[in-house]
Structure 1
Amino acid sequence: MNPITKDVRAALDIFAAAWTEGDQSALSSLFTESSVLHSSAHGQARGAAEIASLFSADLVAKTSLRVVTTNHSVSGDDRRTVLTSYLYGVSSPSDPTPSTFGATLLADLVRTEDGWQFAELRLSIPWTDGDPARFVPWSLPSAEGWKLGDATPTIVSELDSPWSRGVPDLDADDAVQQAADFYARYAWAIDQGDIALLRDCFTEDVSGSFPPMGDLHGRHEVIGQMKSFRRGWPWMQHFGRTLHVTVDEAQTSAHLVVGRIIPQQPAAPNGQDLYGAHYQLDLRRQNGIWRISSFDYIPGWITTKEP
């Protein structure tokens, strides 16, 4: 892993742990006095103290659950980076009122004397599940979908994402790391409804099994079906973790195995990571960009110890 990616991911881990624990001091250390927060649930805030206060208040309100991060992507350089990530909050298995939530994070970070800090943080919380009382302090989207008077989305992928802004790839020369990180870009594209970005995730001759849409062939059919499918499920999030990646010697083709994380059941009773399905993806590298050439989504619970 690129050292910059490692350090930025470490800042994200601190954020997740501090949000879980309501640790206002740790949260404050991640922001500056000029930092800005745009949160669909919390509203807008500026400055380390105000932002940290909003997140730490979630624990007081009993909203906070153990926050887990997935689907990471880091781009930029050694002074400024853009981070995308999915997060989900999950209650303890022994909780009498189990609850979960999902979030999408987009952040611009700057390197300061205190390490990597969030200059601007955009956080969208598109869904919750379980005890409604846990989420009373938050502003949440209507179950009915868009209606007149709704707030503007916190994240507009076509304008805000690192891919739309042309932020340079930290691992432009590392084909293996690019392939390993590919799923984050693919999931972001379909979940954000960013069809232009999704188009760039497939080769022209892509084919495969796409439950529940069925067997599809060619980019036109795949993108067309995905675009229609997404309209009926606007708050989807495809949480996943790359479990295995192989890249050929010429670094032009790769095979990716991705575990599909189900936030409501992310672990087996023994604590082992559990996946509700997995992807078998063949990738082809074209003009330096990895794209899916063969797609197979396989339902069924698995653990990483299974072949």
Structure 2
Amino acid sequence: MDMQMLANRAAIQDVIARYFRGIDSGSKSLVRSCFTEDVQVLYDGRPPEQGIEAVMGSLRTFQRIAKGEMQITMHFMGNFNLIRLEEQSAETETYAIAFMVPPKAIADHMAVRGLRYIDQLRQTNGEWRIVRRRHTLDWSFEATPTFASSLAQRVMTASAPA
């Protein structure tokens, strides 16, 4: 492997990680930065979404947060497979586990989902972005969450001097 290939691999993996960080932090601008304008996304059991505006409008996590139906999500990025890498295009498959916790007033259980993201990426002006995505739900279950601390406590702990 040469240095450019390793740099491209790292940049591509960063796009996927940035997507998860954007979803989990509620940052639409961060999520948007992961996709091309002409992106196409296919979710299991749903018609394809074409174009960045349609894709952003279809993201159920943002919809649920806006409606107060979702308290917090956490996507854990697992296996990352670089299937193909050419000069300005790549294909990847990424396994993830998503934890989706609704407010206690809505439900006392969270959904845990095993997901796969099968992506085609394109490099334009030195920047990698997702041009096609297939989002696959492989398995799921529900469980009762237990919280050791609130988000406010975690933020305060993270910013406290050592």
Using structure 1 for the length normalisation, give the TM-score.
Answer: 0.38
**Partner of residue 35 from structure 1, selected from 36, 39, 46:** 39
Q: Secondary structure at the match of 1:83?
A: strand
Aligned to 2:111: 99
Aligned Cα RMSD in Å?
2.7
Give matches, 1:1-307, under 5 Å. Answer: 2-40=6-44, 43-55=47-59, 56-60=62-66, 61-62=69-70, 65-74=73-82, 75-90=84-99, 96-113=108-125, 115-130=127-142
Pick the structure with greater CA Rg: 1
Q: Name the count of aligned residue pairs.
A: 131
Q: CA deviation at 1:98?
A: 3.5
Q: Which ranges in structure 2 are unaligned for 5 or more consecutive residues?
A: 149-162
Aligned to 2:154: none
Which deviations, in whole Å up to 9, do the C-alpha atoms of 1:166-201 show, x marking residues without a partner? xxxxxxxxxxxxxxxxxxxxxxxxxxxxxxxxxxxx
Q: 1:114 to 1:29 in 2, by over 3 A?
A: farther
Q: CA deviation at 1:58?
A: 4.4
**Bigger share in strand:** 2
Residue type matched to 1:68 in 2? Answer: F
Q: For residues 59 and 26 of structure 1, what CA distance do their matches in structure 2 show?
A: 16
Q: Which ranges in structure 1 are unaligned for 5 or more consecutive residues?
A: 132-263, 270-307
User: Is the contact made by 1:109 and 1:119 (CA closer than 8 Å) also made in structure 2?
Assistant: yes
Using structure 2 for the length normalisation, give the TM-score.
Answer: 0.69
Higher RCO by CA contacts (8 Å cutoff, separation 6 or greater): 2
Q: 1:104 to 1:24 in 2, by over 3 A?
A: same
User: Is the contact made by 2:120 and 2:131 (CA closer than 8 Å) also made in structure 1?
Assistant: yes
Identity, % of aligned positions = 12
**Bigger share in helix:** 2
